[in-house]
Chains A and B, each alone.
Chain A
Amino acid sequence: MQTAAARRFGWKEAALALLVAVLAYQVVVPFAMIIWTSLKQARPGEEDFLSLSFTLANYARAYGGAAFWRISGNTLSFALAATLIAFVIGAFMAFVLARTNTPLAGFIGAMLIGRIVIPGILIAISWILVASPNIGLINQMTLRLAGLRNPVNIYSFWGMVFVQALELVPLTYLLLGAAFKAMDPRLEEASAMTGAGNWRTLRRISLPLALPAVAAALLLLFLTTIETFEVPLLMGTRAGIRVYTTEIFYDTSRTPIDWGLSSTYAMALLAVAIVLLFVYFRLIGHGERYQTITGKDFRPRRIDLGPWRYLTCALALILVFLITGVPFLMMLYASLLPFYQVPSAAAFTSMSFDNYLTLFHNSKTVAPMINSTILGPAVATTVVLIVALISYFVQKTRLRGRRLLDFLGFAPIAIPSVVLGATFFWFYLIVPLPIIGTLTIIGLAYLTKYMPVALRFVSASMMQIHAELDEAAQVAGVSWGRNFFKIMLPLLKPGLLAAWFWVMVHAYRELTIALMLARSQNRTAAVVIFDLWEEGSFLLLGAFAVLMFMVLTALCAVAHSISARFGVQEQPA
């Protein structure tokens, strides 16, 4: 007979130990470095950096002036407006596509997710080409048709909000769609029996039941917008609207970079994230209330909208056209031109595939594509497994300090990419692990970067799984590890899949970190994009993005068809 002590250390304990080690290494260490740096005037590596004398000078500089509070106002109102709009549109799309018999739901959903694939720089440029003064398509049309001069201006607060909100709809859709799919229709039917209308059922039953996902979505949308860079950079600067990320960018654009100051800015983001996470926890309370996937005839089923389904279909098509169609078409249009022109007969006659030929001629684009194709799925899979473990321990065990795991997994959302990239670079310069210049170092940085978003995805899904489904598996006499892979993971499928797509695509197109850690052997597709944008033009970039769109769509389709074989089956109507 084994001793009690040996018994206690099984798969579950091993998994927990591994998880704690990963979080300590990937989150605690970088955070310690950032906080330390924010209290220093010396840079990492300099002699004074290791001394135990600290200063609040960076804090005084970052938060002392009136400018900081004006920028905070801009950042928060921009984030709030974009969040609310993205949430309303995203919730509509998620419900209509995941829970009703709206025609073309599959196609529209795929197109929505396709949007994530388009690099942020291109989306901003597309909207500049559509709605900027003078050359924007809309303003060109109003001028020609109605003589109206520049009725819309993308370089404005609402222009930024509009583009950013559309950018966030796919995230909302992924989060809420997963939650809506896992909803027990009988709870809604019960409401319908009481004579409540569809709208009321949605508002009083469906949305509250999806509260974990709703709260997670709002939290993520808000923090993602605060952390977003492309829209503020390409549109905000010209509109004169300054936010945290552009400030950090300006402060880090002169050598030697003032890392103390940028680390200090990260502290403000951390504070916002902590407050919001606390609110989120309060809102969710004890997760048991949201366990809609019970072991008792759980049957996902779609709602029949009758003739209304054509209206929802039309609305969803219009939205998806704005969200994915416009950027994609602009990209396609631009990629066929030798130089950018406002659409005209002359423009169309000048079209050719020259940009694509240039790309194929360029052998340097192939290796980065391969690198990204390895990096994206690898990072996504690792991240998804880690966050599944975190949510399991947080929600399905009574472990002491389990909330801390959740917090650690989420905290990196507060680290701006440029600071995160720098931190990983320093760390591996100082620590003699030979991973500088490899895909591994980028992968490790991405692990930290994408854990927070994935964690909220999976955590919302975990909350919907009834505790007894796990307990039954434990009692069944099967090892904990097997239970985790064969019971928990399949049940988590909607959330895992959504998180996987999200991380994979973002790891594919992420730029800031990749740029900081790129060397000869580990350049990623996004670095190529940046090269093309910096030195070439967005026409070539458009061609590259069209190619990337195809590769990623194929990757997603493969992953989707593999995953369709697992998890809960929808009942045929």
Chain B
Amino acid sequence: METPKIKTRMKRPAMGFLAGLTAALCQPLPATAQNSTSEKAYADLAALPAAERSKRLEDGARAEGKLVMIHTMRGNLATDHVALFRKRYPFLKIELEGDIGSQDATERLYTEETAGRHLTDVINVALPDLTALRNKDMLARFVSPAAASILPPYQGFLDSQGRWTPWYWSEHGISYNSSLVPKDKAPRGWDDLCNPFFKGSVSFDPAEDRYLAGLYAMFGEQGTQRLLKCIGENDPIIQRGHAQRMELMLAGDHMVQGDNYLYQGVIIQRKNPSAPYAIATSAPAFGFAGVAAINKNAQHPYAAALWADWSLTQESQAYVAHLLRGPVALKHPFFPDSMKLVTYVDAPAGVMDRLMGYWNTYVAKRH
């Protein structure tokens, strides 16, 4: 249920907007509550035995009747996923708020909460994008018992405090156009992005935190700085849009993807087996988690917890695998066993700013 405070506020527009504005501006806006109702509920839940816990959770969600959520996947991918959840819990009215990217989702929750409006219960986002919300302590602590089903390689995605529940992962790896790149020239490691043979023919998206944090996880700060510097000297292609860059590369526009999800090419290759797509399997990939993070001031805490639990179920995980994304409780649908995977959560805040600075200086040449 909505708290009474919200209800009275919503009924006030008749007073005229100026009066409302003054009232709203004069109201102190607590950025975060110290002991939110959701966290209290989660602490109580954690103390219960399994059967009773799941009953309490479902009853609570049923009483709330609603879940307001941002899903990080786009369009049908998200709605089909949510449809499975909805089928399981038909009493919940689920508002899927916008198909926005994970950075936009965290930004939106951040803005709403800063303004004192508790509109969104759960956001499903890329873990490295959560930094700002973690710093402001905007996330509810909730430990899902389902986390036990997460396979060992992905246990590193978990948070000791339970501020998020990882339920899929994405990988950045090197891929190339096998008809443009002869076998003997195929890239084998990240240093090959600096190979003069690929000069002007390696493409990247404009920098994202999750990509830089991944490089940091593999090479540390100095290693990343060195790599970005030589990438910058090799005349990189910077173009927005992962899917589109993959299509362009496979159409023969350039040779190598220096920053892309491996699944992008696999999706195309499943549709068109003759697509000249190859993964550089000898280069390590780095993987970050997609997580469900619950708003500390969620208005529907039980429904939110229900989603976090459900995201790790067999049903949900199978759907993730079906999309060629990485499930955390199942085997990956295509990731080669031989390929090395470096998992990470994020990089320290100060480091992140410096990494972005290196990118801007060496690769984007903004300064």
Contacts and interface: CB of A to CB of B under 8 A. Distances in A.
The answer on A and B forming one complex is yes
A533 B367 contact: no
A237 interface: yes
Interface in B183-242: 206, 208-209, 237-242
B67 to A, nearest CB: 11
Given A431-B20, A432-B24, A256 B76 contact: no
Contacts of A340: 247-248, 250-251
Contacts of A534: 74, 101, 241-243
Contacts of B95: 519-521
A433 B17 contact: yes
A294 interface: no
B78 to A, nearest CB: 9
Contacts of A253: 103, 206, 208
A536 B75 contact: yes
B75 A425 contact: no
A339 B29 contact: no
A125 interface: yes
Nearest to B79: A364
Contact of B206 (A237, A240, A531, A539): A237
A533 B246 CA distance: 12
Q: Is the interface of A mostly helix, strand, loop or mixed?
A: loop
B98 A518 contact: yes
A45 B99 contact: no
B144 to A, nearest CB: 24
Given A364-B76, A430-B25, A432-B9, A341 B251 contact: yes
Contacts of B25: 50, 430
Q: For this complex, into which size category does the number of interface residues on chain B fall?
A: 35 or more
Interface string A529-558: 011111111110000000000000000000
Nearest to B247: A340
Contacts of B110: 255-256
Interface string A81-125: 000000000000000000000000000000000000000000001
A256 B107 contact: yes
Interface string B16-44: 01001101110011010000000000000
A519 B123 CA distance: 13
Centre residue among B103, B132, B244, B252 by max chain A CB count within 10 A: B244
A533 B243 contact: yes
Contacts of A47: 28-29, 31
A538 B119 contact: no
A430 B111 CA distance: 10
Interface core residue of B99, B117, B129, B252 (most chain A CB under 10 Å):
B99
B252 A45 contact: no
Contact of B239 (A134, A237, A432): A237
Contact of B366 (A242, A255, A527, A535): A242
20 contacts: A44-B114, A45-B31, A45-B116, A46-B29, A47-B31, A50-B25, A67-B366, A67-B367, A128-B248, A135-B248, A238-B238, A254-B356, A255-B133, A256-B107, A362-B75, A431-B24, A433-B13, A518-B100, A533-B243, A534-B74
Interface of B: 9-10, 12-13, 17, 20-21, 23-25, 28-29, 31, 73-77, 79, 95-101, 103-104, 106-108, 110-112, 114-117, 119, 129, 131-133, 206, 208-209, 237-244, 247-248, 250-254, 268, 271-272, 275, 356, 364-367
Interface of A: 25, 43-47, 50, 65, 67, 125, 128, 132-135, 233-234, 237-238, 240, 242, 250, 253-257, 338-342, 362, 364, 422, 425-426, 429-434, 436-437, 515-516, 518-521, 523, 527-528, 530-539
